[in-house]
């Protein structure tokens, strides 16, 4: 095979691979955590889920802001099939690798202590990379 033909084939494979991956993002206002022990969920649905059919998650990135939280709160990011503990207000995980990219994600928050004022979570943002 000629070098030019091989280069063209490799180039087509790279272009095909680039078209096979992408990302979607979503934002939501956060919940107010008032009652200790009560779990509050915030859903984040993919825009245009029909176009994501057959695609799989490779990585999920998140970010949110929150009030000072005396006593703290617990947070997790959940897919329809699994949940991942969120220990920082920003970060990423590949623990949802292989899950359907057209599935809804949701943040779950739970206030841990009755001490202090309610905790306001703000500016929930996720970016879902898929293949």
* Ranges of each domain in the chain: 22-130
Q: What kind of fold does domain 22-130 have according to CATH?
A: Jelly Rolls (2.60.120)
Tokens 């220990």 -> residue: 87
Q: What is the pLDDT of residues 41-86, one digit of tens each?
A: 999 999 876 789 899 999 999 999 999 877 899 999 999 889 999 9
Tens digits of per-residue pLDDT, 6-26? 434 334 334 444 446 999 999
CA pair distance 87, 113, nearest whole angstrom = 17
Tokens of 120: 């306001």
């Amino acid at each position: 095979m000629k070098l030019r033909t091989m280069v063209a084939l490799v180039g087509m494979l790279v272009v095909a691979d680039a078209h096979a991956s992408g990302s979607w993002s979503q934002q939501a206002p956060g919940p107010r955590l008032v009652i200790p022990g009560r779990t509050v969920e915030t859903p984040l649905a993919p825009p245009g889920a029909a176009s994501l059919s057959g695609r799989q998650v490779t990585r999920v990135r998140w970010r949110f802001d929150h009030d000072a939280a005396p006593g703290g709160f617990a947070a997790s990011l959940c897919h329809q099939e699994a949940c991942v503990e969120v220990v920082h207000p920003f970060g990423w995980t590949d623990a949802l690798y292989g899950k359907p990219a057209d599935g809804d994600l949701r943040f779950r928050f739970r206030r841990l202590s009755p001490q202090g004022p309610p905790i306001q979570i703000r500016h929930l943002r996720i970016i879902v990379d898929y293949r």
